[in-house]
Amino acid sequence: MTTKPKVLLIATLDTKATEAQFVRQTLESQGVDVIHLDASIRRSVTPGAEITPEQVAGAAGKTIQEVRDVKHEGRCQAVMIEGAIKSTLALHAATPISGVIAIGGSMGSTLGSAVMQALPYGLPKVLVSTMASGFTQPFVGAMDINMFNPVCDIAGLNSITREVFRNAAISVAAMAKAYTPKAASDKPVVLMGTLGTIDRCTVRIRKQLEDKGYEVLVFHTLGTGGQALDKLAAERDIVAVLETSVVEHNDFLNNGLCSAGPERSKAGLRKGVPVVFAPGNADFMVSGPIDMAERQFPGKRYHIHNRALTAVRTEAEELQKLANHLAGLVKTEAKGPVSVLVPLQGFSHHDSPEGYLHDTSLCPVFYDAVKAAMPSNVTVEKLDCHLNDEQFADAVVNEVLRLVGQSHTAAA
């Protein structure tokens, strides 16, 4: 007998019973089994879900009455999130699920996405959320979560929400039926950051490393990309991290749009694997439309990337601050070898003869600052070329291979 794939449905029956029932029926009509997790706080509904509010609270070490007695929605939800994650992981370990779908407003989306973020990459995840057309970063984070916008509030079924719920349920069912958990790569894994402005460099690095038998995972460093890189650096078996795009550090230090927060790059350094830094995209910070950029960074040089984003030229002060920040991370976090390679003819396409922010006088400023700030055991090398030149990419590859080889020798 063929076992149907199992999909976890996360919805609170105290407020979303009608919607949950519709989604369940749609999922079952698509040939999947449904396991419903109900993290309701206000009241328990019978007949209930397969995983009841009592069980969710119990997984967090509380009774549901103890949770309700707190009478603070944020604190109550924190307990239920903990219990929902533990319940889901226990379920997945005992009876693997092939997909998860959650529905809700800001509260339901917070709980549902927290559960999704605890599940493996690749496992299908669908979130129907009233937050889908707004500020989605807290819900998606660094995970592969698909969000559906219900358009109307999730308050019963109507001609619009019925179709959205149906489409979302069919999509997760289809993905679940095709889902096969993937084993970890049998190749040594390297993590690397990039943006289109340094694509010539990072594409060459990736292809050369792949030709030598490595798998290279490349991340778009606009905030969540760097966070995803760090998450995988902490969780996966990797052999090196190439921090070739540092715009997220610039934006953290200067309140730009693409900050990945104060933890950026710490995971790779703590891992103890070789980490190679290169100042890709150090030449700019990211702001919004040009009028916003002029208010946020007055008196700077600007490049209008598009109507939504403006690249703001970093000057000596920002580059020195960046150098000191990176050196501080290395001093406090690094458990393995670190190298820094600095090109002296430009840090990105914007900082090139074809770009709009080119200024070769600033490359030595960064080199001098990082050379002075880095610990003495860190290799800091300058190259008389542009970051997008083949010479620089080849130097990065050679340094990665050298450090990885040393690490393997030391381990043996």
pLDDT band for position 282 (cuts 50, 70, 90):
very high
258 and 144 in a single domain? The answer is no
Asked, for residue 319, whether it belongs to a domain, the answer is yes
Q: Read off the tokens for 138.
A: 């807290």
Shared domain for 204 and 92, answered yes or no, is no
Is residue 410 over pLDDT 70? no
For residues 216 and 94, state if they share a domain: no
Q: Which phi and psi (to 5°) does residue 302 adopt?
A: -125, 150
Same-domain status, 147 and 235: no
From 92-101, 129-138, 194-203, the region with the lowest mean pLDDT? 129-138
**Inside any domain, residue 174:** yes
Domain range spanning residue 293? 189-411
Q: Quick one: 84 and 146 in the same domain?
A: yes
d(CA 60, CA 85): 9
- Do 307 and 364 lie in one domain? The reply is yes
pLDDT tens column, 234-268 = 988 999 999 999 999 999 999 999 999 999 999 99
- Give the domain-ending residue among 148, 178, 208: 178
Whether 184 maps to a domain, the answer reads no
Q: What's the pLDDT at 71?
A: 87
**CA–CA dist 391, 395 (Å, integer):** 6
As a whole number, the mean pLDDT across the chain is 94
60 and 159 assigned to the same domain: yes
How confident is the model over 179-195, as a mean pLDDT? 89
Q: Number of folded domains in the chain?
A: 2
Other C-beta atoms closer than 10 Å to the C-beta of 289 total: 13
Are residue 150 and residue 203 in the same domain, yes or no? no
pLDDT beyond 60 at 183: yes
Q: What is the pLDDT of residues 85-132, one digit of tens each?
A: 999 999 999 999 999 999 999 999 999 999 999 999 899 999 999 999
Predicted confidence (pLDDT) at residue 142 exceeds the cutoff of 90: no
CA 216 to chain CA centroid, Å, is 16
Judge whether 37 lies within some domain. yes
> Is residue 390 in some structural domain?
yes
Can you give the pLDDT at residue 30? 97
Residues 20 and 153 both lie in one domain: yes
Residue 183 in domain: no
User: At residue 1, does pLDDT exceed 70?
Assistant: no
